[in-house]
Amino acid sequence: MTKNIQSLAVVERLFPLIVSGEKTSTIRWGEQHITLGPLMFFCAEDPSLTVQVIVTRCSKMRLSDVAAFVGRSDEWPDKIMLAGMQEHYPDIALSSLVQVIEYDPPLQHIH
């Protein structure tokens, strides 16, 4: 019996950054719990576009702590981080507990 691979949708503008290996983490709030191992990202606007990665670390923390955790404090001050996340999760706050999912660059790109 094979286990179904976990999967997450990603917005179209971010999908190429995952494919290129430039984006190696994602922040999720109120979505399924992701675990270590294979993960399939699919493009929310075109689900036929997929890319597989290997999740290497999953961490829970307040949204306000994420920028420092992933080394992007200069790019993501609290106001910018919150505005960016509210595009996807309108009710999120800096105090919200999120899952930071880190992964290696893609193994394969299927389209």
Amino acid 81: pLDDT: 94
Domain architecture of the chain: domains with CATH: 6-105 (2.30.130.30)
Walking along the chain (111 residues) 10 residues at a time, the average pLDDT comes out as 81 95 96 96 95 97 96 94 95 98 80 49
Cβ-in-10-Å burial (0-12, 13-18, 19+) of 7 comes to: middle
DSSP 61: E
Amino acid 66: pLDDT: 97
Q: Name residues whose C-beta falls within 8 Å of residue 43's C-beta, 6 or more positions apart in sequence.
A: 9, 10, 11, 12, 15, 49, 50
Amino acid 4: pLDDT: 81
Amino acid 80: pLDDT: 95
DSSP 24: -
CA dihedral 97, 54, 36, 14 (to 10 degrees): 10
- Which residues of the chain form beta strands (DSSP E)? 6-10, 25-28, 37-43, 50-62, 97-103, 108-110
Pairwise CA distance, residues 21 & 87, whole Å: 23
The H or E element containing residue 85 is helix 78-88
